[in-house]
Structure 1
Amino acid sequence: MSVRVLIVDDHAHFRAGLRALLATADGIEVCGEAASGEEALTALARHQPDVVLLDLAMPGMGGIAATRRILEASPHVRVLVLSMADDDDSVFAALRAGARGYVLKGARRVEIIRAVRVVADGEAIFGPAIATRLMGYFAAVDREPPAPTIPGLTQREHEILGFVAQHLTNPQIAQRLGLSQKTVRNHVSNIFAKLQVADRAHAIDVAREAGLGRPGTG
Structure 2
Amino acid sequence: MGFIHWKTSKQTGKLKTLLGLALSRIAVARRPRLARKSIATDDVRQLLTLGHLDRAIHRAEQVIVEDTMLEAFEMIELYCKRLIEHAARLDKPGECTEEIREAAATVMFAAGWCGDLPELTFVRTILADKFGSHFTEATRDGTGIVDRMLVWKLSGDATSRELKKKVTKEIAAENNIVVDFSELRDVIKDGED
Larger Rg: 1
Whose RCO is larger (CA < 8 A, sep 6+)? 2
TM over 0.5: no
TM-score by length of 1: 0.28
The structure carrying a bigger strand percent of its residues is 1
